[in-house]
Amino acid sequence: MNEEVPRIPDAERVTVERLEAGVTRIVARYGFSENPDLTALLGSLRVEGLDLTPLKCTFFLGRETLILGAGHNMRPWRKHLFAFLSRNALDASKFFHLPPNRVIEIGVQVEL
């Protein structure tokens, strides 16, 4: 989760919450000038009852595929610019330094 401050102190970076049915939610907060490295974070994190070795974890990411439709809600040049910037954005698994063979992506198509 990115925050609106440049840096998050290490003591405030991670929260661990036990949910129902044996599910644990781990939230890592980063400032806008920090580079999140979840592999390093998980390697250093110790949570009782969990093996957080990055190569044993599964990471779920969302992916949006933009489709340039015929709708009239956006000017054509803006659609093309937005689609171009979206295509050239850094892949989320690379941004978070996740092992590529441990990532599952769930996608949705969005029409502009």
pLDDT, residue 9, reads: 94
- Predicted TM-score (pTM) above 0.85: no
pLDDT, residue 3, reads: 87
pLDDT, residue 75, reads: 86
Same domain, 35 and 24: yes
Q: Which stretches within 36-90 are classed as H helix?
A: 38-44, 76-87
**Spans of the chain below 70 pLDDT:** none
Count of domains forming the chain: 2
For 21-45, give one letter per residue: b (16+ CB within 10 A) or e. Answer: eeeeeeebbbeeeeebebbebbeee
Same domain, 89 and 50: no
pLDDT digits (tens, 9 = 90+) for 58-80: 999 998 888 888 777 788 888 88
**62/106 Cα distance (integer angstroms):** 5
pLDDT, residue 27, reads: 93
pLDDT, residue 6, reads: 95
User: 29: Cβ–Cβ under 8 A, 6 or more apart, which residues?
Assistant: 1, 2, 3, 8, 12, 13, 14, 15
Same domain, 110 and 95: yes
